[in-house]
Amino acid sequence: MGTCRNCERSGWFLSITSDGLCHDCQNGINLEVTNRVRIVKESEEIIERSKNLSTKVSRAECIIQRLEGLLRYENKGIPTIKPAPSALLAQWQEKKDVIILDDINAALNVANAKAVSSKSDKLKHRAFIRVFSKIMTFGNKLTDPTVLDRVRDMVLRTTLELEERIKNSKPGLVKKNSMPDNTELPR
């Protein structure tokens, strides 16, 4: 007597495929796997091409969701894809972290370079605000959001110092720029 691993139907006349499924489930799961794999592949290509962090993160999340759907079958002992959904899922969760951290790191490098090369506090400020908003928008999507705490605090401090400098350097104000030029910047 066969029992389907998915719908758990069983019976003397129920024929079971080599994956341990009844034919209805086998057909349905084949179709679902094909669709999920297609979306994963499309999303991978988009991530590869895109330079937009928001696009890349939302596509990585889309891949993770699709793989989670396949993980349900893996947990029932039903084969779907190779490597197994659980292995790919772990890889993609890590990849998503790398995508976010690489992008924030690149923005931070730009801001640090500007802090050295630019004479304009406004341009420096803009560069650091950009880093700060990336941290605020994407930091909580990391597996461990606390890894950015120290950087976030330093970027915020630098941003506030620059704001103060910009405010104090407005024409008409008597107060002279009191900040040293070599303001410590996050590395």
Q: Residues interacting with Zn ion, by CB under 5 A? A: 4, 6-7, 22, 25
Taking the least distance from each CB to Zn ion, the nearer of 21 and 100 is 21
Nearest distance from C-beta of residue 3 to Zn ion, angstroms:
9
Nearest distance from C-beta of residue 59 to Zn ion, angstroms:
32
Nearest distance from C-beta of residue 6 to Zn ion, angstroms:
5
Nearest distance from C-beta of residue 30 to Zn ion, angstroms:
12
In contact, 180 and 164? CB cutoff 8 Å? no
Neighbours of 45 (CB within 10 A): 11
Distance between CA atoms of residues 69 and 9, nearest Å:
21
Distance between CA atoms of residues 96 and 80, nearest Å:
23
Neighbours of 143 (CB within 10 A): 10
Taking the least distance from each CB to Zn ion, the nearer of 15 and 182 is 15
Taking the least distance from each CB to Zn ion, the nearer of 4 and 89 is 4
The DSSP call for residue 180 is -
Taking the least distance from each CB to Zn ion, the nearer of 25 and 162 is 25
